[in-house]
Homo-oligomer: A and B are copies of this chain.
Amino acid sequence: MTITAPAGFRAAGVPAGLKSTGAKDLALVVNDGPRFDSASVFTSNRCKANPVLWSQEVVKDGTVRAVVLNSGGANCYTGAEGFQTTHAVAERVAERVGIGAVDVVVCSTGLIGLANPRENLLAGVDAAHAALAADGGEQAAEAIMTTDSVHKQVVVEGAGWSVGGMAKGAGMLAPQLATMLVVLTTDAVVDAADLDVALRAATRVSFDRLDSDGCMSTNDTVTVLASGASGITPTLEDFTAALTQACTDLAMQLLKDAEGADHEIAITVLNAANEDDAVEVGRSVARSNLFKAAVFGKDPNWGRVLASIGTTDAAFDPADLDVAMNGVWVCRASTPAEDPAGVDLEAREVSVTIDLKAGEDRATVWTNDLTHAYVHENSAYSS
């Protein structure tokens, strides 16, 4: 059930003293090969954290042999000193594992604007290296948790190979913290170029469609490592399907664990002129504080859906939009239709369906409602 389910990987999670609670806060994942192909995607935020600045360079040659991750501090907006900390951590991993630092991806998560204690991190790397185990995936998944209430893991089985994964965070930017971190592993034989194609296809319809609060992290990192230990080379299509399944499963785990949320909302846009239009419309609704607060209040306020759609550049006729909530078509042709009183918003899962009547493409964007707990948790985090 973990990143160590595929053959060729060891992992560990240990307490390094970054979290005041003494909980695990440093994870190490090592690819023992025989292959070391990798691909990664990072936040598109221009203000990137030091670990992202480092790791973007590391991944360029398609080879990654280890990933080291810490919670308890994002190492973001910490200047040259912070970058040196990231570099020192990568060097220590390289030294212990017997590889080059240029093959070590570093990820950090926690509060931004605070320096991470370098000595704690280095000692943590030593402890994690000593604890590396072929069944250590769950320990690693625990060590990257911040305000996550549960650790998130997944395994998808292929024909003689598998994909494992772990994640922390909630959406584009976890309500309290700064980051979504995801490590995926596979023992399939997939070269770096194909991994890149598969990863971009998988994230495009999973993590990229998750928009918890419209904020964009400084630290988001998704890395996939392929050991080739199964000796089996799946088709790119089969591998992409498995990777997409793993990413979607983790994305739904992130959505369900968004701090403070009472509802998971799936916004599906039908009959768009193209997929970009569908995503833009879905995202505009996902970012409407008014609509999200209404869902929290169990109020099927479809007018706020139309008002959000109207802010986009997508192709549609403003006078001919249909909207359903939980299957009740409360709006047809931009006018009231079925009685909104028939929309039951008691359950956590809410579906919004929008028919643009402008083409044949579609997309689903996921978000959460806007709750008192969201405001509370985000108003009281760093103090």
Contact = CB atoms under 8 A, between A and B. Distances in A.
A302 interface: yes
B333 A79 contact: yes
A206 interface: no
Contacts of A47: 306-307, 309-310, 318, 321, 334
Contacts of A296: 375, 379
A122 interface: no
B45 A334 contact: no
A84 B296 CA distance: 35
Interface in A290-324: 290, 293-294, 296-299, 301-304, 306-312, 318-319, 321
B307 A173 contact: yes
A318 B48 contact: yes
Interface string A333-355: 11110000000000000000000
A113 interface: yes
Contact of A290 (B76, B113, B173, B380): B173
Nearest to A333: B79
A218 interface: yes
A175 interface: yes
Copies of this chain, count: 2
A282 to B, nearest CB: 16
Interface stretch (A132-140, A209-217, A250-258): A209-217
Contacts of A294: 378-379, 381-382
A147 to B, nearest CB: 13
Contacts of A218: 303, 306-307, 310
A296 B372 CA distance: 12
A203 B321 CA distance: 31
Given A289-B289, A297-B381, 16 more contacts: A48-B310, A77-B334, A79-B334, A113-B302, A113-B306, A113-B336, A115-B336, A178-B307, A218-B310, A293-B375, A297-B378, A297-B383, A299-B379, A371-B375, A372-B376, A375-B375
15 contacts: A45-B310, A46-B311, A47-B318, A77-B303, A77-B306, A77-B334, A77-B335, A78-B335, A112-B306, A113-B301, A173-B307, A178-B307, A214-B287, A293-B378, A294-B378
